[in-house]
Structure 1
Amino acid sequence: MRSFSLFGLVAVVVAASSSLEHKVEEIHVPAVQEAAPVITVIDANKTYAVKYGCAGCPFGLLKTPHAAEWIHPPPQNSLMLTLAIDKSGSALFLNDERVFPLDPLPPRISAVQVPMDHAEDEADEQAEEVMSKRIRFPLQYEHTVFRAEGNGEVWLQFNVTGLAWGEEAAPFKLGHTVLQVLLREQHVRPETPGQKGCGHALSIASVQVVEEKDRVQPPRMKCGRLAMIRTAFDPNEWDDYGKFGTWARTWNVAIGKLGALWSGSSQSNLLLPLSLLLAASILVVRCIWQLRQQIQACGDSAAESWLLGCHAPPAYADIPVIKIEQYD
């Protein structure tokens, strides 16, 4: 009798197990769609596409050239950044703007958004149709350059600190992610014996997207400061003449006004002597100010020359804003 009961209990357990297995087999699991990688190699050591995470950024589509439809809540999205070495191998471009070697005027860099959950093949199919509706945001950024440990290698770090505007006119702040690029520079001999300067060929050795706390730290000089050149740029603080509140912009505005007077009517040209006197006064004040700055920053100039070598930009004041900072 006991054996019969045990047999019945085993039969019930087996029946329940088979029923459970049957139910599990009926569950339909949808295929997982892979997202596009953060870094895509287009041409090894030359061209890369980077999806720069933009957590919480406003997301919208253009309905007309002057009107946009904003999506609430905004989906997880990223900014598309394209790194490319030019054909001559002498410069690095970010979204068609030169970021190495440094220019006297900081470039205005903008980027479009893409959703994080779009697969690469789906993005390719919809690129022509959708990209025309994407909003191109002007970027606030920090651009840092310093020598790497390897011979002929330079680290370039690009940190998007915010969007110049979003759904509202106020800037949208970011700054937790850093795009860092390791550039390898190979010096080549000049094509002609009499040619001056140092020739070079750039290549991209590494592209990384890291948290700000994990960024590569620049070396320290003997004085204890970090040996780097950092350029901060905000489109809201600049116009075609330069950064607001600087002598460089004042000088550029004065030169522009003189050019307008010179090209004007003969009646306006009567003011030319007064304009020349005003320009000379501004020039003298600017020269005195530059001399004081050079005396105070003589150590900084030596550090910049050591960092950039033959890529050092021409002498300028306040264009761009260069800071040598120290952080932990």
Structure 2
Amino acid sequence: MRAFRIAEFGAPPQLDDVALPDPRPGEVRVRIAACGLNFADLLMIEGRYQERPPLPVTLGMELAGTVEALGEGADPALMGRRVAVFAGAGGLAEAGCFPAARCVPLPEAMPFEDAAAFQVAYGTSHVALDHKARLQPGETLLVLGAAGGVGLTAVEIGKRMGATVIACARGADRLAVARDAGADHLIDSDADDLREAVLALGGADVVYDPVGGELFTAAMRACNPEARLLVIGFASGDVPQIKANHLLVKNLTVMGLYWGGYLAFRPEVLTGSLARLFDWYAEGRLKPHVSHCLPLERAAEGLELLRARKATGKVVITMG
């Protein structure tokens, strides 16, 4: 089978021919149909992600496909099921073996491309806004990077939770995508003064930030008292330094969120969140935005779209 993988950190990934794996006890083998790309894949290539799996490693954190083989002890009911898997790695291949416990059965009408674009982006935003920030109806949510993979889902889920959503993104085209996802107000990070624009709209009660850098600092200065700031990632490449006295004066709370980390200490947070999100999808209340769908041999091109910030929503790689 084909697998898109790295042999050493910092080296370009390559499409290799590798042996079809056999599932170990507690695992299933999935015939992969689609894999969603994430900014974290770029960090893993560079060796800068918070987890460094043994090399060589097949990239691709989230995938969707059909269970085709069972390891000892795996639930027989999974055989032949269409599932989504948050694997952490291994999704950019034609097949892979993963813990059976991580397999989430898909709604009947959900295409593999939507499923591959779903877990990390929607899961991150839902856990951040619901479990961490306790976003309330009527509050104002500021979303930075609002046209990106996770930012766009934060706009959509924030509206679903009853918030007034301010979307910040670069340029009119990207802001139009955020508007279509439900944003009430739009701020162009290339042209507008973020702090002044947010304050003119009444300030922010919750800030969702996958970008970092100067935008985080400007957003913090536009917060209302008792606002909650969610640190999701640092797509700008700049990790902001927070002055603790600023938090004290306005009674602010800064919260970090590593969605995948919950698998190690509170997996029920993720499973409960995903169950609700898949229900919302089945009810037609969520619609994943996939800007590019590319075949496996063009996976490097898909990663470059993320690196250059030329994608909106998700980039999905298909195996067929």
Higher relative contact order (CA 8 A, sep 6+): 2
Asked if Structure 1 and Structure 2 have the same fold, meaning a TM-score greater than 0.5 normalized by the shorter chain, the answer is: no
Structure with the greater alpha carbon radius of gyration: 1
Greater helix content: 2
TM-score by length of 1: 0.22
